[in-house]
Protein backbone atom coordinates (compact mmCIF):
# COMPACT_ATOMS: atom_id res chain seq x y z
CA UNK A 1 0.00 0.00 0.00
CA UNK A 2 2.78 2.40 1.02
CA UNK A 3 4.69 1.51 -2.15
CA UNK A 4 1.66 2.32 -4.30
CA UNK A 5 1.20 5.69 -2.58
CA UNK A 6 4.89 6.46 -3.03
CA UNK A 7 4.74 5.66 -6.76
CA UNK A 8 1.64 7.81 -7.22
CA UNK A 9 3.22 10.72 -5.35
CA UNK A 10 6.44 10.45 -7.37
CA UNK A 11 4.51 10.37 -10.64
CA UNK A 12 2.50 13.46 -9.73
CA UNK A 13 5.61 15.34 -8.62
CA UNK A 14 7.47 14.44 -11.83
CA UNK A 15 4.53 15.54 -13.98
CA UNK A 16 4.29 18.83 -12.09
CA UNK A 17 8.00 19.41 -12.66
CA UNK A 18 7.64 18.85 -16.39
CA UNK A 19 4.66 21.19 -16.69
CA UNK A 20 6.33 23.96 -14.72
CA UNK A 21 9.57 23.70 -16.74
CA UNK A 22 7.66 24.12 -20.04
CA UNK A 23 5.80 27.23 -19.01
CA UNK A 24 6.24 30.54 -20.84
CA UNK A 25 7.78 32.13 -17.79
CA UNK A 26 10.56 29.56 -17.68
CA UNK A 27 11.35 28.40 -21.23
CA UNK A 28 13.64 25.41 -21.66
CA UNK A 29 17.24 25.96 -22.72
CA UNK A 30 17.66 25.88 -26.50
CA UNK A 31 20.63 25.81 -28.84
CA UNK A 32 20.96 28.60 -31.43
CA UNK A 33 18.32 30.88 -29.87
CA UNK A 34 18.44 33.22 -32.90
CA UNK A 35 16.89 30.40 -34.96
CA UNK A 36 14.09 29.88 -32.43
CA UNK A 37 13.50 33.55 -31.71
CA UNK A 38 14.66 35.51 -34.80
CA UNK A 39 14.64 39.30 -34.81
CA UNK A 40 12.53 40.44 -37.73
CA UNK A 41 13.75 43.26 -39.94
CA UNK A 42 12.55 45.13 -43.00
CA UNK A 43 14.33 43.73 -46.09
CA UNK A 44 13.97 47.09 -47.86
CA UNK A 45 15.23 49.27 -45.03
CA UNK A 46 18.26 51.53 -45.30
CA UNK A 47 21.13 50.66 -42.98
CA UNK A 48 23.01 53.33 -41.03
CA UNK A 49 25.72 51.04 -39.68
CA UNK A 50 27.56 48.01 -40.98
CA UNK A 51 26.35 45.90 -38.07
CA UNK A 52 23.51 46.26 -35.65
CA UNK A 53 24.09 46.90 -31.96
CA UNK A 54 21.55 44.21 -31.13
CA UNK A 55 22.93 40.80 -30.28
CA UNK A 56 22.12 38.02 -32.77
CA UNK A 57 20.57 40.43 -35.31
CA UNK A 58 21.38 39.86 -38.98
CA UNK A 59 24.00 42.38 -40.19
CA UNK A 60 22.93 45.01 -42.70
CA UNK A 61 24.07 44.60 -46.30
CA UNK A 62 25.84 47.94 -46.50
CA UNK A 63 27.77 46.94 -49.61
CA UNK A 64 24.61 47.75 -51.61
CA UNK A 65 24.72 51.46 -50.79
CA UNK A 66 23.12 50.85 -47.44
CA UNK A 67 20.27 48.71 -48.76
CA UNK A 68 19.60 45.58 -46.75
CA UNK A 69 17.92 43.71 -49.62
CA UNK A 70 19.91 41.70 -52.14
CA UNK A 71 20.41 42.89 -55.70
CA UNK A 72 18.13 41.59 -58.43
CA UNK A 73 18.96 38.41 -60.29
CA UNK A 74 20.85 38.97 -63.53
CA UNK A 75 18.43 39.35 -66.43
CA UNK A 76 15.58 40.66 -64.28
CA UNK A 77 14.49 44.26 -63.78
CA UNK A 78 14.23 45.98 -60.43
CA UNK A 79 10.85 47.60 -59.77
CA UNK A 80 10.84 51.20 -60.97
CA UNK A 81 14.56 51.06 -61.73
CA UNK A 82 14.36 54.06 -64.04
CA UNK A 83 12.26 56.21 -61.75
CA UNK A 84 9.43 56.41 -64.28
CA UNK A 85 6.89 56.86 -61.52
CA UNK A 86 8.38 60.14 -60.36
CA UNK A 87 5.54 62.62 -60.09
CA UNK A 88 6.95 65.11 -62.58
CA UNK A 89 7.06 62.45 -65.31
CA UNK A 90 3.44 61.36 -64.97
CA UNK A 91 0.40 62.96 -66.65
CA UNK A 92 -1.21 65.42 -64.26
CA UNK A 93 -4.78 64.89 -65.46
CA UNK A 94 -6.96 62.72 -67.68
CA UNK A 95 -6.91 65.41 -70.36
CA UNK A 96 -3.11 65.54 -70.32
CA UNK A 97 -2.94 61.75 -70.44
CA UNK A 98 -5.29 61.59 -73.43
CA UNK A 99 -3.45 64.39 -75.25
CA UNK A 100 -0.12 62.62 -74.80
CA UNK A 101 -1.65 59.31 -75.84
CA UNK A 102 -3.04 60.87 -79.03
CA UNK A 103 0.34 62.45 -79.75
CA UNK A 104 2.07 59.08 -79.28
CA UNK A 105 0.13 57.69 -82.23
CA UNK A 106 2.21 59.90 -84.52
CA UNK A 107 5.26 57.78 -83.73
CA UNK A 108 5.32 55.15 -86.45
CA UNK A 109 8.77 53.69 -85.79
CA UNK A 110 10.75 53.16 -82.60
CA UNK A 111 13.84 55.21 -81.77
CA UNK A 112 15.97 52.05 -81.56
CA UNK A 113 18.70 51.46 -84.13
CA UNK A 114 16.99 49.94 -87.21
CA UNK A 115 20.14 47.89 -87.87
CA UNK A 116 19.21 45.80 -84.81
CA UNK A 117 15.55 45.31 -85.74
CA UNK A 118 15.80 41.56 -86.15
CA UNK A 119 17.30 41.06 -82.69
CA UNK A 120 14.94 43.63 -81.19
CA UNK A 121 11.93 41.74 -82.57
CA UNK A 122 13.27 38.44 -81.24
CA UNK A 123 13.67 39.90 -77.77
CA UNK A 124 10.31 41.63 -78.08
CA UNK A 125 8.63 38.28 -78.71
CA UNK A 126 10.31 36.71 -75.67
CA UNK A 127 9.23 39.60 -73.45
CA UNK A 128 5.72 39.65 -74.89
CA UNK A 129 5.26 35.92 -74.25
CA UNK A 130 6.48 36.35 -70.66
CA UNK A 131 4.74 39.60 -69.77
CA UNK A 132 1.74 40.15 -72.03
CA UNK A 133 0.50 36.85 -73.48
CA UNK A 134 -1.30 35.77 -70.30
CA UNK A 135 -3.91 38.46 -71.00
CA UNK A 136 -3.46 39.48 -74.64
CA UNK A 137 -2.90 35.93 -75.93
CA UNK A 138 -0.02 34.55 -77.96
CA UNK A 139 -1.91 35.58 -81.11
CA UNK A 140 -2.73 39.06 -79.85
CA UNK A 141 -6.45 38.26 -79.89
CA UNK A 142 -7.10 39.06 -76.24
CA UNK A 143 -7.67 35.41 -75.39
CA UNK A 144 -4.80 34.70 -73.03
CA UNK A 145 -4.85 32.01 -70.36
CA UNK A 146 -6.15 34.42 -67.71
CA UNK A 147 -9.03 35.48 -69.94
CA UNK A 148 -9.87 31.90 -70.91
CA UNK A 149 -9.97 30.93 -67.23
CA UNK A 150 -12.77 33.44 -66.71
CA UNK A 151 -10.79 35.42 -64.14
CA UNK A 152 -10.57 38.47 -66.39
CA UNK A 153 -12.35 39.80 -69.45
CA UNK A 154 -12.49 42.75 -71.81
CA UNK A 155 -8.98 42.41 -73.27
CA UNK A 156 -9.17 43.78 -76.84
CA UNK A 157 -7.95 42.13 -80.04
CA UNK A 158 -5.01 44.07 -81.46
CA UNK A 159 -6.46 43.61 -84.95
CA UNK A 160 -9.44 45.75 -83.94
CA UNK A 161 -7.40 48.58 -82.42
CA UNK A 162 -6.07 51.74 -84.04
CA UNK A 163 -2.56 51.67 -82.63
CA UNK A 164 1.02 52.51 -83.57
CA UNK A 165 4.33 51.49 -82.11
CA UNK A 166 4.33 54.81 -80.24
CA UNK A 167 0.90 54.34 -78.69
CA UNK A 168 1.70 50.77 -77.63
CA UNK A 169 4.86 52.04 -75.94
CA UNK A 170 2.88 54.82 -74.25
CA UNK A 171 0.37 52.36 -72.82
CA UNK A 172 3.16 50.06 -71.63
CA UNK A 173 4.70 53.04 -69.86
CA UNK A 174 1.60 54.69 -68.38
CA UNK A 175 -1.15 52.07 -68.61
CA UNK A 176 -4.64 52.57 -70.09
CA UNK A 177 -8.13 51.67 -68.89
CA UNK A 178 -7.90 48.43 -66.88
CA UNK A 179 -4.28 47.82 -67.85
CA UNK A 180 -1.70 49.18 -65.46
CA UNK A 181 1.75 50.52 -66.25
CA UNK A 182 4.51 48.03 -66.97
CA UNK A 183 7.27 50.62 -66.70
CA UNK A 184 8.45 49.01 -63.48
CA UNK A 185 8.75 45.59 -65.13
CA UNK A 186 10.19 46.49 -68.54
CA UNK A 187 13.13 48.79 -69.21
CA UNK A 188 12.58 51.65 -71.69
CA UNK A 189 14.36 49.90 -74.55
CA UNK A 190 12.47 46.68 -73.89
CA UNK A 191 9.15 48.51 -73.92
CA UNK A 192 10.00 49.63 -77.45
CA UNK A 193 10.95 46.06 -78.40
CA UNK A 194 7.62 44.71 -77.16
CA UNK A 195 5.82 47.49 -79.03
CA UNK A 196 7.74 46.64 -82.21
CA UNK A 197 6.82 42.97 -81.84
CA UNK A 198 3.13 43.77 -81.33
CA UNK A 199 3.02 45.86 -84.50
CA UNK A 200 5.06 43.38 -86.52
CA UNK A 201 3.19 40.26 -85.39
CA UNK A 202 -0.38 41.50 -85.07
CA UNK A 203 -0.70 44.67 -87.18
CA UNK A 204 0.83 43.70 -90.50
CA UNK A 205 4.45 44.67 -89.92
CA UNK A 206 6.50 47.75 -89.13
CA UNK A 207 6.79 50.81 -91.43
CA UNK A 208 10.09 51.73 -92.98
CA UNK A 209 12.69 53.27 -90.71
CA UNK A 210 12.77 56.19 -93.14
CA UNK A 211 9.32 57.31 -91.97
CA UNK A 212 9.38 60.60 -90.15
CA UNK A 213 8.96 60.28 -86.38
CA UNK A 214 8.95 62.53 -83.36
CA UNK A 215 11.12 60.67 -80.89
CA UNK A 216 10.05 60.94 -77.28
CA UNK A 217 12.79 62.65 -75.28
CA UNK A 218 12.42 60.01 -72.56
CA UNK A 219 13.09 57.08 -74.92
CA UNK A 220 16.40 55.39 -74.23
CA UNK A 221 17.99 52.20 -75.48
Cβ atoms within 10 Å of 105's Cβ, excluding its own: 15
The mean predicted confidence, pLDDT, of the chain is 74
Residue 9 in this model has a pLDDT that exceeds 80: no
Is-contact 132 145, C-beta < 8 A?
no
Residue scoring higher pLDDT (12 or 154):
154
Domain span(s) for CATH 1.10.760.10 in the chain: 87-202
**CATH superfamily name and code, 87-202:** Cytochrome c-like domain (1.10.760.10)
Q: pLDDT band at residue 91, thresholds of 50, 70 and 90? A: confident
Residue 109 in this model has a pLDDT that exceeds 60: yes
Q: Is 71 helix (H, G, I), strand (E, B) or coil?
A: coil
Is-contact 118 125, C-beta < 8 A?
no
Surface-to-core class of residue 165, CB atoms within 10 Å of its CB (0-12 exposed, 13-18 middle, 19+ buried): buried
Is-contact 57 41, C-beta < 8 A?
yes
- The reported pLDDT for the residue numbered 102 is 92
C-alpha 74/C-alpha 130 separation (Å) is 16
Amino acid sequence: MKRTIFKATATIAFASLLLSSCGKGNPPMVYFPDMYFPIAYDPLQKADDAYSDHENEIPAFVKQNGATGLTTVEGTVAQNKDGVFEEELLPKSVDEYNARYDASKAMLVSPLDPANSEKDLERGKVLYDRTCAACHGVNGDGQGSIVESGAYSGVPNYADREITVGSVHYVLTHGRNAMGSFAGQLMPGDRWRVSMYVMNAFKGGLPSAAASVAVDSTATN
